[in-house]
Amino acid sequence: MLFKEQTFNALDRLYLSQNKADFAKAAIEVIEGCLPSVVIAFHEVTFMRTSDQVHECRDARATDEVRRAWDRQSMNSPVVQYYRAGGTEPVISTQELISDVKLRNSELYAECWKPFGATHQTGIRIWDGASVTGVSIKRDGRFFECENALLKTLYPHFSRAYRNLESEIYSLRALGFTPRECEVHHWMAEGKRDGEIAAILGCATKTVGKHIEAIFAKLSVETRMAAVRAVQRWRRRLNPSPPAGHAEGNGIGAALSAGARRRDSAP
């Protein structure tokens, strides 16, 4: 299996992402070029609110009903339970955590896996703490050890690029924003409404409105779009250089190709 140029381009876009939506799309494109799957999704599971914010999933079968099921069943996921209990492996498969029989008899399987015809899942954790952010990969069939090794090769790049993105979000502190205002502006730029932002951040909708008023005042603007554009102009003036860690510069191309060859040659 030869890796397409678009896979390496997607890796580059990970490092250049300025919002979670772009990061999620690039992350899924990278995985699509590496592993056979039936559905790939980018999740942010918050432990305190026991919620699953799905930022990206291209599969048309991921209907609103299925997404609500992901949110409802998030704490029943063996992978989420593993990280909530303090697990540290950046790549973990459900086949390492739960028997096939027990999984297939669960509501999690019926509501979140069966609609896609999936029987197994692996994934790569990108960020953790009070929440765990990562990419889940499901398919009808077990995952080979060499495939998980391939994901482990990708992990440092995913993690580093996501840290860069988190730093980008809070860079607005330089404009006098509070940490919460940075987060509100980020989700506002993602197109979220006040109520949606409130649900994500775990606060009242009126509180979000107060933060937005403060953001408008600090940027001397009157609309959400103007606030987003003002920050975009500010960031362009900073003209940040691309972060270190280009895919080929770190030899990831050779590592990916080697991992793919191992996977393709597996019995």
pLDDT tens figures, 30-48: 998 888 888 899 888 876 5
Task: Compare 125 and 251 and report the one with higher pLDDT.
Answer: 125
What sign has the CA pseudo-torsion 135, 137, 138, 144? negative
Enter the tokens of residue 225: 């779009």
Q: Mean pLDDT in the chain?
A: 82
Look at 1 and 230; give whichever has higher pLDDT: 230
Q: What pLDDT is stored for residue 95 in this prediction? A: 92
Q: Residue range 157-166: average pLDDT?
A: 87
CB-based contacts of 138, cutoff 8 Å, min separation 6: 37, 38, 39, 40, 113, 116, 118, 120, 121
The more confident residue out of 28 and 60 is 28
What residues are paired with 163 via a beta bridge?
Answer: none
pLDDT, one tens digit per residue, over 195-213 is 988 887 878 899 999 999 9
Q: What sections of 49-201 are H helices per DSSP?
A: 64-73, 78-84, 100-104, 107-108, 145-170, 179-189, 194-201
- Angle, to 10 degrees, between the axis of helix 145-170 and the axis of helix 5-16? 30
Instruction: Output 144-150 pairs: Cβ under 8 A, ≥24 positions apart.
Output: 144/263, 144/266, 146/259, 146/262, 146/263, 146/266, 147/35, 147/122, 147/259, 147/263, 148/91, 148/93, 148/122, 149/259, 149/262, 150/34, 150/35, 150/256, 150/259, 150/260, 150/263
This model's pTM is above 0.85 = no
Give mean pLDDT, residues 218-230. 94
Task: Give pLDDT tens digits for 17-31.
Answer: 877 788 888 999 999
CA distance 142 to 149: 14
Q: Comparing 218 with 60, which gets the higher pLDDT?
A: 218
Q: How confident is the model at residue 4 (pLDDT cuts 50, 70, 90)?
A: low
Q: What is the DSSP-derived secondary structure letter of residue 115? A: G
Question: What pLDDT shows up at residue 243?
Answer: 47
CB atoms near residue 191 (< 10 Å): 11
Just give the CATH number of 169-238.
Answer: 1.10.10.10
Q: Which residue intervals of the chain bear CATH 3.30.450.80?
A: 5-165+250-264
What is the distance between the alpha carbons of residues 267 and 262, in angstroms, rounded to a whole number? 10
Location of structure tokens 């492996």: 89
- Is residue 26 packed enough to be buried (19+ CB in 10 Å), middle (13-18) or exposed (0-12)? buried
Average pLDDT over every residue of 153-172? 87
What is the model's pLDDT at position 258? 46
Intervals of CATH 1.10.10.10 along the chain: 169-238
Phi, psi for 56 (deg, rounded to 5)? -160, 130
* Residue among 26, 55, 61 nearest 41 (CA): 55
DSSP state of 99: -
Identify the pLDDT of residue 122. Answer: 94
Residue 260 pLDDT: 45
Fold (CATH) for 5-165+250-264: Beta-Lactamase (3.30.450)
Cβ-contact 66, 60 below 8 angstroms: no
